[in-house]
Chains A and B, each alone.
Chain A
Amino acid sequence: MSTLVGKLQIDKTIDARGMACPGPLMNLIGAIRQGQVGQVFEVLSSDEGSKTDIPAWLAKARHDLVEVVQDNGYTHFVVRKAR
């Protein structure tokens, strides 16, 4: 099911807040592996490390970081599978 956040179509939301293991980035990698090119994923993370981990993996794996928003106690990442 897709939902709209602002103008962007979100294909899948991963709410990994409070789930240190396997963790937000591991779950994002899992979702991207299964997803289609062009799909947009949203990850909610309360883990401080995600702020560096998620952008670093996206750069290495060559997917797009579309948006990062700091919310109350967690960070919200929007990511697009680019290839």
Chain B
Amino acid sequence: MAADVVILGGGVGGTIVANLVAKQSSGRAHVTVVDATGIHVYQPGFLYVAIGQEQPSALQRAEAHLLRRGVSLIVDVATRVDPIGQKVLLESGRTLRYDQLLLATGSRTLMDEVPGANEAHDFYTMDGAVRLFDALEGFQGGTIVIGVAGIPYKCPPAPVEFVFLLDDYLRARGVREKAQIKLLSPLNRAFTIEATSRLVQPILNERGIELTGFFNVESVDPVAKTVSSLEGETVAYDLLVLVPPHRGQKVIEDSGLGDERGWVPVDKNTLKHTKFEHIWAIGDTTNIPISKSGSVAHYEATVAAAEIVAELKGELPPAHVYDGKVMCFLETGRGEATTISFDYDHPPVSPTPARRWHWAKALFNKTYWHTVPQGRLP
């Protein structure tokens, strides 16, 4: 009889694992994906929606169309996992039994956790990106402040990319001279990786983007229009864009599968839950202190799929474990970009910003739908 492999979350990671397990298990598995919306969203595109360079509709596809034949999709919210009874309870009241369970539910953003920040803008949700573009279109001058209100957050380069793209956008509209752009960085440099920061910092200076270091946003005063930091400083704004605090999904917290923020504890190489048998987790939902990125979810997915298939076949676990590989792009504006690559054993490297990296990112974004979810890229 085929084993039941249940995957919670039809995002980047969950979709790749579903397709690879269905393909590689030679009929030994019945794969079911449970997704809250049934719509697969390409989140890196939010950055471009926020400056009017992408349409929301281009970033969404029906999850059913991205899954191989034979994979079942249930559109429902998982509300509880019973790791001992090996069952998942869904919002509709339905219960699913599993032999192997993959948690790939990503993260949620909670701007409400920041006192006074209810009206702050963000580009971390589709609605936020659409609303931000609206506000930017009406912007005639003043100070735009970009800050980080919680760690960890998805795609650490995104705030830096945003200020460069914002600079381009304001210049194209002819309002750059009337605008001040201030980037509030959690660290005492533009970006967490020093080598990348050394490339980025001169470009910030050249574009007239002001950098304030060691500024971790703690609260906002929407009446005075100021934002204050954990370190005790205050900055005034006319338009405020924040990276909201992130946490794991409620189902993880309610089921006792995660830490106090809902991140799932896994072994950083095998991606197996540290406490419960037959449970794996990949992507943004894990507690591994590595960048929450589609890139990580993608590389982890190929490892988790191979391990699940080996387990189904009664074979030894594969020799290939997750080695901490990350590969991300970082837009530096004016049609140029750089990349960041590293793994657990190799320190990060970033090439000098160039047009070809911008084109590589644009190409990846366009071809995503036909390559990544299907597991066609290694």
Interface: A20 (CB within 8 A): yes
**B365 shortest CB reach to chain A, Å:** 20
Interface residues on A, range: 20 to 34
* Contact A20-B151, Cβ < 8 Å, known A14-B289, A61-B230, A61-B231: no
**A27-B151, A30-B150, A33-B150 known; A20+B193 contact, CB < 8 A:** yes
* Chain B interface main SS type: loop
Known: A29-B151, A29-B186, A57-B188. A21 touches B231 (CB 8 A): no
Check A18 against B324 for contact (C-beta < 8 Å). yes
Residues in A with CB closer than 8 Å to B152 are 22, 26-27, 30
With a cutoff of 8 Å between Cβ atoms, the chain A residues found around residue B214 in the complex are: 56-57, 60-61
In Å, the complex CA distance between A23 and B186 comes to: 12
A19, A25, A27, A29: which contacts B324 (Cβ < 8 A)? A19
Interface string of B220-257 (1 = CB under 8 A from A): 00000000001110000000000000000000000000
Tell me if A2 is interfacial: C-beta within 8 Å of chain B. no
A53 CB contacts on chain B under 8 angstroms: 187-188
A23 touches B192 (CB 8 A): yes
CB pair A26–B187 under 8 Å, yes or no, is: yes
Q: What sequence of 0s and 1s flags, for each residue 189-233 of chain B, a beta carbon within 8 Å of any chain A beta carbon?
A: 000111000000000000000000010100000000000001110
B34-42, B64-72, B337-345: which one contacts chain A? B337-345
* A22 touching B192 in the complex, CB below 8 Å, given contacts A16-B289, A61-B214: yes
Per-position contact with B for A1-37: 1 when CB-CB < 8 Å, else 0? 0000000000000111111111111110110011000
A26 and B151: CB pair below 8 A? yes
Q: How far is the CB of A54 from chain B (nearest CB, A)?
A: 10
Q: Flag A48-75 by CB within 8 Å of B: 1 or 0 each.
A: 0100010011001110000000000000
- B260 located at the interface, meaning its Cβ lies under 8 Å from any Cβ of chain A in the complex: yes
A12 nearest CB neighbor, chain B only: B259
Render B335-357 as a binary contact track against A, CB cut-off 8 A, 1 for contact: 00000101111011000000000
* Cβ–Cβ < 8 Å partners of B216 in chain A: 29, 33, 61
Name which residue of chain A comes closest to B261, CB basis: A34
How many whole Å from A38's CB to the nearest CB in chain B?
16
User: Are A21 and B290 CB-contacts (below 8 A) given A27-B151, A34-B261?
Assistant: yes
A residues near B268, Cβ cutoff 8 Å:
15
Specify which chain B residues have a CB less than 8 angstroms from the CB of A14 in the assembled complex.
289
B279-290 interface bits toward A, Cβ cutoff 8 Å, 1 = contact, 0 = none: 000000000111
A16 to B231, CA, bound (A): 23
How distant is the Cα of A57 from the Cα of B215 in the complex, in angstroms? 10
Please report the C-alpha to C-alpha distance between residue A29 and residue B260 in the assembled complex, in whole angstroms.
16
Cβ of A33: which chain B residues have Cβ within 8 Å of it? 150-151, 216, 230
The residue from A17, A26, A61 contacting B156, defined by CB atoms under 8 A apart: A26
CB distance from A62 to the nearest CB of B (A): 8
Interface centre among A18, A21, A26, A47 (most CB of B within 10 A): A21
B326 at the A/B interface (Cβ < 8 Å)? yes
Q: List 8 A-B contacts (CB under 8 A).
A: A19-B290, A20-B348, A21-B193, A21-B291, A21-B326, A21-B340, A53-B187, A61-B230
